[in-house]
Structure 1
Amino acid sequence: MHRLRVFLLEHGLDAIIVCLAAAAALTIVTHTGSTGTDDVGVVFHAVAVVVMSLALTLRRRAPFAIPAGTWLSSATLSIVDGSLIAGQAPLSIVGMIAAVLLGDLKDHRQARAGLAVVVASAATVAYQDPTHAAGDLFFIPGLFAAGWLVGFTLHARTEQAEAAEELAARAEWQRRNEGRVAVAEERARIARELHDIVAHAVSVMVLQVGALRHRLPVEDVTSRETLRNVEEAGRDALTEMRRLLEAMRRDGDPLDLAPQPGLGGIAALLDTVRAAGIDTDLHVHGEAVDLPPGLALSAYRITQEGLTNVIKHAHTHRAEVHLRYCTDGLELEVRDDGGGPTTTDSLGHGLVGIRERVALYGGSMTAGPTETGGFALRARLPLGPG
């Protein structure tokens, strides 16, 4: 069925044209006796009609010349024999197909020229018909002009559909590109934040190694030299980290001299949300434990982004934050009871940053509407051994 459908889409019109050409030739041959035409004339007329009709199968090579040539050939043959074209249903259908094809041209100037060819040729065919009435000179050209109008309308619809598809593809590309930029920016932000945490830990180790080296006996040269090498390696690492941070910082970004926040800063964060007019409660489940600084910072940023989405999109005056301390991880949930977006795409690229932070610790995240209404952001950050 699929192959048949593809064949009909690609060659269905060609098959119809071939059938019409055969029917027109058969009609000419069967009416030989009634018209009194000799055999040579019958053959000439049949061949001319078949060639004129089958030429439409080459329309893709010359979209304007072939359909226009079909109509001009019809007018010419009607001058030779007035009853040859008029009154033949297969040739009328061939003419209608040619008229629609001329209306469906991409070049509007050629399409308008095609309309003139159709109207003039149809009027010629109608005028050369020995049995024509006065009204045929207007009705027949108007009928085929309507066919041209159908093709013109179809082309306009096709252009609109193609423009819509192009716009959708461009929007999809832009969305993906913005997503990649958001991921890169968030990763750079995470790296800058983790720099402070790692730099602080390395600084403490360097200071402790230096203090230990000075307390060793002078005669313990080997140990003192080993600790000196460790101390110098730590200082070199700090220098390289600062250079890397400067390279990652964009032009105009201010220096962040404030300490990186942790879960202890969530209370102040909730005060800011309450000041925005949203009543926010914090619920802590389980016994609080000390978290690694990087994980605590990510938990704070996730909560911050969830509350930001509540302010921007929830259209509500109440929200809840849940922190659950489990034996093997920390679970966060930010939920509201508003009528915000039903899909996560409308929340911008904030969720992209959350996914990056969750993936950094091998966690999981979900975001979407709840069964009771509102929106919920849930994230789980696993704790490593110890």
Structure 2
Amino acid sequence: MQRIQGLLRGYWLEIAVAIAALNGALEVALRQDTTNAPDVSAWFGAPAVALMLVPLLARRRWMFGAPALVWLLASALSFVDGRLVVFSGSVFAAGLVASFLLGNLPDATQSRIGLLVVVGGAATVAYNASGDASGSYVFLPAMFATPWVAGLAFQQRGARAEAAELRAARLARDREEATLAAIADERARIARELHDVLGHSVSVMTIQASAVRRVLAPEQTKERVALLAVEQTGREALAEMRRLVGILRLEEEPPGLAPQPGIGQVPKLVEQAREMGLAVGLRVEGEPMPLSPGVHLTVYRLVQEGLTNARKHSDASRTEVRLRYGPDGLEVEVCDDGKGAAAVDQGGHGLAGMRERVSIYGGEFEAGPRPEGGFRLRASLPVHP
């Protein structure tokens, strides 16, 4: 049953054309004795009427040729018998459908040629049917040109809708590519920043191992060898990290000499935002706890991104920065009273990078408009022992 329903939905016009062709043939064959009946015999007239409708069955394959052939056959048969073409209502309906299909062609040149075929065919049929130069062969072409105009309107509306869909798909694709590029850039930036953090830790470890090795007693040979191995491994690790960062670092980017910022620099960051004209409040809740250098840097970047969005994209008049220390971790929140949707649209790439940073430490990140208005950036960072 579903297959039959699918065929009916997909080929309803073809089914209607077949029924109309059969109806037209029977109409000519059974109404030979009526007024205005065609002069040709039923043996010729019935198949001829059906033949005029048959080209519509091939409309999917020959979008221009099939409906144009309907009018060409009608014009040709009108010279054989002028009343044969106008006698059946099925032929009239087929002419309307053919006119619509010609107007609905995506090729503008073919559509205009189709209009000429419709007008010329209708005028020919009207003239041969009336037998004189009466106004019928002016009215009939105008009547059949109407569905051509309707088909043209449908085609143009469909073309506009398709163009809008293509633009939307292209914008979505461009936005996705830009987001992926932003994530890749942020990953490279994270790697460069973590090099400084890890490099400092490895350097301290290497120096301490060297210091301990130098104060060992002469008989502590095994301990001296083990510490020497630690030193060598540390130096090799530092060299490898420098090579990797050299690959990731941009050509125009100078080497990072200053220490990486952390939570301790957040008040300075807030003060800088105030100097730029943004009203910012800072609130710290809970008891501060030891955090890894990478988490320190992530918190700083989150606050920095939140304040940048508030200043550049949200048109906010008030922004609040909150740091909440809890038993399971640290929660960072930056809220403003600006235009929430605008911050999402214009600051999306930076937010994608922040999401990437938080995910590295197994945290949760969310950013979006607040129900009461404005925009909120929030991240929860677990503290691992």
TM-score (norm 2): 0.94
**Equivalent-residue separation in structure 2 for 1:129 and 1:314 (angstroms):** 73
**Cα distance in 1 between the residues matched to 2:216 and 2:258:** 36
Partner in structure 1 of residue 136 of structure 2: 136
Query: For residue 241 of structure 1, what is the aligned residue in structure 2?
Result: 241
- Partners of 2:328 and 2:21 in 1: how far apart? 80
Which runs of structure 2 are paired with 1:14-163 in the superposition (5 Å)?
Answer: 14-34=14-34, 41-130=41-130, 134-163=134-163
Letter in 2 for 1:202: V
Aligned amino acid, residue 56 of structure 2: L
Secondary structure in 2 aligned to 1:254? Answer: coil
Name the residue aligned to 1:277.
Answer: 277
The 1:206/1:36 distance shift into structure 2, 3 A limit, reads: closer
Unaligned runs of 5+ in 1: none
Instruction: Please give the alpha-carbon distance, in whole angstroms, between the structure 2 residues aligned to 1:343 and 1:139.
Output: 61
CA distance in 1, matches of 2:235, 2:94: 87
1:359-374 residue pairs with structure 2 within 5 A? 359-374=359-374
Aligned partners of 1:313 and 1:341 also within 8 Å: no
- Give 1:182's aligned residue: 182
| Contact residue 74 and residue 121 of structure 1 kept, 8 A | yes
Cα distance in structure 1, aligned partners of 2:267 and 2:174: 37
Q: Which moved more, 1:340-349 or 1:210-219?
A: 340-349
1:271-310 correspondence runs (5 A): 271-310=271-310
Aligned-partner Cα distance in 2 for 1:37–1:118: 23
Alpha-carbon spacing, 1:16–1:37, altered in 2? closer, same or farther (3 Å): closer
Distance 1:305 1:132 in 2: 83
SS at match of 1:129: helix
State the distance in 2 between where 1:341 and 1:2 align.
45
Q: Deviations over 1:352-375 (max 9, x none)?
A: 111111111111122222233222
Superposed CA offset, 1:327-383 (max 9, x none)? 110011111122342773443211111111111111112222223322211111010
Aligned ranges 1:290-369 → 2 under 5 Å: 290-341=290-341, 344-369=344-369
**1:313 CA drift (Å):** 2.2
SS at match of 2:366: strand
Change (3 A) 1:259 1:87: same
1:227 is matched with 227
Deviation at 1:251, TM superposition (A): 2.2
CA RMSD of aligned residues (A): 2.0
Alpha-carbon displacement from aligned partner over 1:69-115 (angstroms, at most 9, x marks no partner) = 11010011111011111143211110111111111222222211111
Residues 1:348 and 1:140: Cα distance change in structure 2 (over 3 Å): same
Do the aligned partners of residues 273 and 283 (structure 1) sit closer, same or farther apart at CA in structure 2, a change above 3 Å counting?
same
**Aligned partner of residue 33 in structure 2, secondary structure:** helix
1:278 Cα deviation (Å)? Answer: 1.3
| 2:207 aligned residue | 207
State the shift of 1:225 in Å: 2.0
Structure 2 segments unaligned to the other structure (5+ residues): none
Whole-angstrom distance in 2 between the partners of 1:267 and 1:231:
38
CA distance in 1, matches of 2:27, 2:201: 97
Distance 1:4 1:312, change over 3 A: farther
> For residue 258 of structure 2, what is the aligned residue in structure 1?
258
Give how far 1:28 is off: 0.5
Q: Which moved more, 1:240-249 or 1:212-221?
A: 212-221
Deviations 1:224-273 (A, max 9, x none): 22221221111011000000000111221222211100111111111111
**Pair 1:13-2:13 in alignment:** yes
2 and 177 in structure 1: CA distance in 2 versus 1, 3 angstrom threshold? farther
CA–CA separation in structure 2 for the residues paired with 1:304 and 1:201: 25
1: distance between equivalents of 2:344 and 2:254? Answer: 31
Q: CA deviation at 1:6?
A: 4.2
Q: 1:21 to 1:343 in 2, by over 3 A?
A: farther
Letter in 2 for 1:102: L
Cα distance in 2, alignment partners of residues 36 and 219 from structure 1: 128
Q: Give the Cα–Cα distance (whole angstroms) in 1 for the partners of residues 37 and 168 of structure 2.
A: 63
Report the Cα offset of residue 157 of structure 1: 1.4
Q: Give the whole-Å Cα distance in 1 for the aligned partners of 2:194 and 2:323.
A: 22
User: Is 2:280–2:318's contact at 8 Å kept on the other side of the alignment?
Assistant: yes
